[in-house]
Structure 1
């Protein structure tokens, strides 16, 4: 019985923590955050826009500066 109480208490604590963290977020900011993984690849951003109808604020991929090489680690 005590274990069930602790499990319920843990779920309630998790729910309250998530609610507290998201208290100042708007629907628009959450939607923008869900589209962020697609923002660095313009081609993928276009495909997501076509599939969902939502606008992805895409950025151009970073280009190496002259004299600077891309180092793979």
Structure 2
């Protein structure tokens, strides 16, 4: 019986923690955050815009500068 109490207490604590972390977020900021994974690839960003009708603030991929080396770590 005590396990059920602690399980319920854990669920309530998790719910309160998520509510606390998201307290300042708006629907617009959460919607924009959901589009972030598509922002670094302009081709995918365009397809997502066509499919969802939502605009994706795409960022141009980093261009290699002459004399510089891009390292993947």
Answer yes or no: same fold by TM over 0.5.
yes
Alignment of 1:40-51 (within 5 A): 40-51=40-51
Moved over 4 A (4+): none
Unmatched runs of 5 consecutive residues or more in structure 1:
none
Count of aligned pairs: 73
Give deviations 1:1-59, integer Å, cap 9, x for gaps: 10011000000000000000000001000000000000000000000001111000001
- Could you state the TM-score of these two structures normalised by the residue count of structure 1? 0.94
